[in-house]
Structure 1
Amino acid sequence: MVDSKNRFSNRVENYVKYRPSYPEMAVDYLCEEAGLEVSDILADIGSGTGIFTRKLLERSYRVVAIEPNAEMRHAAEAMLSEYSNFTSVNGTAEATTLAEHSVSCIVSAQAFHWFELSKTKEEFNRILKPNGKVALIWNKRLSDTDAFAIEYEQLLKQSAVDYEIVDHRLLGEEQFASFFRDGQYMLRKFANEQHFDRSGFIGRVLSSSYTPPPGSIHHEAFIAKLGAIFEKHQHNGSVIFRYETEVYTGNL
């Protein structure tokens, strides 16, 4: 299995084009729950191509985006260069390179499941100001809402070799309780969805690190199966990915 720092290197173009953004209500809730002020410095850990980073920059916060994958980091730098409140850093969750007690809040969107939890907690405590909040965010794709979602989920389990190993849904109450102070955290959920035509659907699927990439001996057969699922379930040339955007917040 490709290591977590490099497994998205050949997925960046599709990631930028087809990964979902985050509901405005979810971002507003996070900012309110964390008690953020415009003068605050936030660390976005595992910031990837900057999808969530942009949401924070749009609200005028100063954001330090920590991302170890060069291809994803460079994509974020290209897309977010207009923001003077954006800083890009080559670092990891376990070794951010940031100064002690230098950030008011830490966020991690669609990335926390890749981190080594004990080392990450130690590093977050080091860089976070006293009583600063940590927010962990995921767009959780709903896999049983309709026939399309169910059949697509079945295909991933059959054809994506490590899908069930790297699924962030493997994280549960035990891991969150051990990470947050005294096992206390808040969880809020928000509805989110994406509509795709055939090419967008395939691009969205190929943005995931566990799907057979171009050049793989399984790629063409996998694409054919995706096409069949699309044709079976499309309505007016479109299918819908439905998500729950989960926002976990707490102290360390």
Structure 2
Amino acid sequence: MSSPSPSSAKVHPQSHVGFGTGKIGLYDKVRPGYDSAVLSDFRKAVSKEGDLNIVEIGCGSGIFTRALLSHPDWSSSLSSIKCVDPSEAMRAVFAEHTDLTDPRVSLADGTFDETGVSDGWADAIVASTSFNWCLHHEESVKEFARILKPDGVIYLLWNLQDRWNFAWVKQVDTICQPSATYWETEFDKWRNVFTVPSYSTYFQPPEEKTISSTESVTLENFTLHAFTRSAVAILPDEGKEKVREGIRDIVQRGEDLKWTDKEKGLIEVPYSNLIVVFRRKPATQ
């Protein structure tokens, strides 16, 4: 048996259990990709021209990494991307599905507050659908400031099923979080990063936007996506079966749900890509 990751003690316990060994293959298969408009927006946020050094923290199974590597806006400007994640299981799937022979790409154990990246190396830091798991905001802000260049950019991104504008998606969220109002009480805790003492020392005020997108999937793939949510992934089989039945009932009722192709069983899943950008203040003399 392999020894625990040295960073595992710093990982949110729900994330540590929900995204553990044996769960990540399905995660990589059914989690959505990132819309091209989001990748373009990230490139625009990094105003510097070519030879960019990017740090991706919480890289997971590599879904965002692979999208970035293949996107035309990044193909001629990316020099290096250092990917870090505290989950050994995530890194194993990342290595299986991402070309680590590409000299631009590296993968290592790491967390938001301990990346292992050299001082002043990064033009930008990106965290895709992961920063809500950060537990140590003050330490993470100091780490971001340490590894960024003076004009560096932080790009936080969440690719979220749009529970705010679609009733059926909110209903699915409710059955996936039956004992905790995660979206009301837990998710926004990441915003505490803006209140820690070091934030105003090192960074400018944040800029926030959303980019809408959709994905067409079968009911089965949509259900399997739900099974990869950390709160559902830890349920016993009977609990997962209740989630499956609940999703089927919600889709059959069809409240504000759109079919991409009903004959083929394809439903349109709406996403709201929450994007938050904050920029390093110029270094003081």
% identity of equivalent residues: 20
Question: 1:125 Cα shift?
Answer: 1.0
Contact kept, 8 Å, 1:47 with 1:53, in 2: the verdict is: yes
User: Which of 217, 228, 231 is the equivalent residue of 1:196?
Assistant: 217
Contact kept, 8 Å, 1:45 with 1:108, in 2: the verdict is: yes
> Residues 198, 4 of structure 1: CA spacing in aligned structure 2 closer, same or farther, 3 A cutoff?
closer
Tell me what 2:132 maps to: 113
Question: 1:227 Cα shift?
Answer: 2.5
Size of the alignment, in residue pairs? 250
Deviations, residues 164-204 of structure 1 (Å, cap 9, x unaligned): 488534544x6446546565122232111222212101111
Give, in whole Å, the separation in 1 of the partners of 2:26 and 2:180: 20
Question: 1:249 Cα shift?
Answer: 1.3
Question: 1:133 Cα shift?
Answer: 0.8
Question: 1:101 Cα shift?
Answer: 1.0
- DSSP 3-state at the match of 2:272: strand
User: Which of 225, 247, 252 is the equivalent residue of 2:275?
Assistant: 247
User: Which of 109, 112, 115 is the equivalent residue of 1:93?
Assistant: 112
Give the partner amino acid of 1:138: W
Give the partner amino acid of 1:7: G
Unaligned runs of 5+ in 1: none
Give, in whole Å, the separation in 2 of the partners of 1:94 and 1:182: 16
Tell me what 1:126 maps to: 146
Give, in whole Å, the separation in 1 of the partners of 2:24 and 2:59: 13
Is 1:140 paired with 2:165?
no
Contact kept, 8 Å, 1:44 with 1:63, in 2: the verdict is: yes
> Residues 32, 200 of structure 1: CA spacing in aligned structure 2 closer, same or farther, 3 A cutoff?
same
User: Which of 58, 63, 67 is the equivalent residue of 1:51?
Assistant: 63
- The residue correspondences of 1:24-43 to structure 2 (distance < 5 A) are 24-43=36-55
Tell me what 2:187 maps to: 168
Give the partner amino acid of 1:241: V
Tell me what 2:24 maps to: 12
- DSSP 3-state at the match of 1:210: helix
Q: TM-score, normalised by structure 2?
A: 0.78
Contact kept, 8 Å, 1:108 with 1:136, in 2: the verdict is: yes
Question: 1:160 Cα shift?
Answer: 5.5
- The residue correspondences of 1:48-87 to structure 2 (distance < 5 A) are 48-58=60-70, 59-60=74-75, 61=78, 62-81=80-99, 83-87=102-106
Q: TM-score, normalised by structure 1?
A: 0.87
Contact kept, 8 Å, 1:94 with 1:123, in 2: the verdict is: yes
> Residues 104, 212 of structure 1: CA spacing in aligned structure 2 closer, same or farther, 3 A cutoff?
closer
Return the index of the structure with the highest Cα Rg.
2
> Residues 152, 6 of structure 1: CA spacing in aligned structure 2 closer, same or farther, 3 A cutoff?
closer
Contact kept, 8 Å, 2:56 with 2:81, in 1: the verdict is: yes
Give the partner amino acid of 1:117: H
Deviations, residues 100-145 of structure 1 (Å, cap 9, x unaligned): 1111111111111111211111111111111211111111321143
Unaligned runs of 5+ in 2: 1-11, 281-285
Give, in whole Å, the separation in 1 of the partners of 2:203 and 2:218: 46
Query: Displaced runs of 4+ in structure 1, greater than 6 A?
Result: none
Give, in whole Å, the separation in 2 of the partners of 1:163 and 1:222: 17
